[in-house]
Amino acid sequence: MLKQFLAAITFIVALLICSPAHAQKATPDTVVTGIYITSIHDINFKDKEYNVNLWLWLKYKNKKFDFLHNLEVPQAKSYTTSFSTIDTTGGKVYLLMKLQCVMKDSWAIDNFPFDKQKLRFSIENSQFDSHSLVFKVDTLGEHFDPRFTLRGWRVDSLDVKTGVKKYETGFGDESLAKPHTEYSNFRVRMQIDRDAMGLFWKMFLGMYVAFLISYMCFYIHTDSIDSRFGLSVGALFAVIGNKYIIDSTLPESTTFTLVDSLHGVTLMFILTVIICTAYSLRLVKQEKIAQAKKFDFLCAQALLLVYVLINAWLIYGANHVPVLAATA
């Protein structure tokens, strides 16, 4: 009788332990992941893409993960594996591969060419969600080669971390009560700062020369009205042409960028020169030659000073704008 009672108690305890309320969720396997960026090149602002070459390694136990075939790079336009090697000694998988990726990203061009950009790279496993695997960062060593990472830019920081990417869809799985899935991801965010002074003068030197040509009208004799108007109108079209050339290399933007501001200010000042020239012509027609010369002299000093100050303020502001934090 006692044996039957103990057997019944044992059976009840076993049912309670195996019930859903007491069942423990399976612990996801950990994938130790590291990255080393060898180069970033062919930045295409117009098409919003760039190329990156990197080494990627993953260490894990579950051979079903098969990252060689299940690797997902969400932000890549395309990628190729130029080299890969797998070591399965000791019951663990060590996968090393070299990737060449064409990445799509959005550019912050408000302060171009004094812009600061954030380049993002992330990977996922296309077959196993966050309930099956989680990533862990391999923090040993550096994550990029500072000598060849990106010519013409400075690498301010590189942040490597892991997280979970949420998809509000079940990918066609009707067994899910809610169309929601989560995948663990490994994320890299590199902040770069352009070495811009040389590029700035290459792009805007023509604009400043055009303004100075227009500005020289104040030092042409008041009798040469045709020459003064001709120089100003020619400078006006030169600035417009310079802006179209720069805009052709940049993606479309709905915001007023530094390029727009500098060209807009220059156009307004050239227009002001033309207005001042017209008023000076009126004084000459009234035979107020001395007054016209004095007016030209005052306008020349005032316009040049204000133009230089506005340009300096715009350039300084663009060069010292902090980069807003963004998720990878």
> Is 102 exposed, middle or buried, given 0-12, 13-18 or 19+ CB atoms closer than 10 A?
middle
Nearest CA among 63, 62, 59, 56 for reference residue 80: 56
In the chain, the amino acid numbered 255 is T
Q: Are 279 and 296 in contact (CB under 8 A)?
A: no
- Work out the angle between the directed axes of helices 225-247 and 258-285 (0-180°, nearest 10): 170
Task: Give the sheet arrangement for strand 133-137, strand by strand.
Answer: 76-87, 93-104, 49-60, 29-44, 133-137
Would you state the pLDDT for residue 4? 55
Predicted TM-score (pTM) of the model is 0.75
End-to-end CA distance of the chain: give it in Å, rounded: 66
Identify whether the C-beta of residue 113 lies closer than 8 Å to the C-beta of residue 203: yes
125: β partners: 71
- How many angstroms separate the Cα of 53 from the Cα of each of 82, 99, 117, 123, 149? 10, 6, 18, 14, 9
Q: What is the pLDDT along the chain (328 residues), one digit of tens a residue?
A: 545 544 555 555 454 444 444 434 568 888 999 999 998 888 888 888 899 999 999 999 988 898 989 999 998 999 999 889 999 888 899 999 999 999 988 888 888 988 888 899 999 998 888 888 999 999 888 888 877 767 778 888 889 999 998 887 767 766 776 777 888 999 999 988 888 888 899 999 999 999 999 988 888 776 667 777 888 888 989 999 999 999 888 888 888 899 999 999 999 999 999 898 888 888 878 888 888 888 888 998 999 999 999 999 999 988 876 654 444 4
CB atoms within 10 A of CB 167: 12
Residue 150 Cα distances to 40, 70, 282, angstroms: 5, 29, 57
Q: Which residue has the tokens 């002074």?
A: 197
Evaluate whether 156 touches 191 at the Cβ level (below 8 Å): yes
89, 296 in Cβ contact below 8 A? no
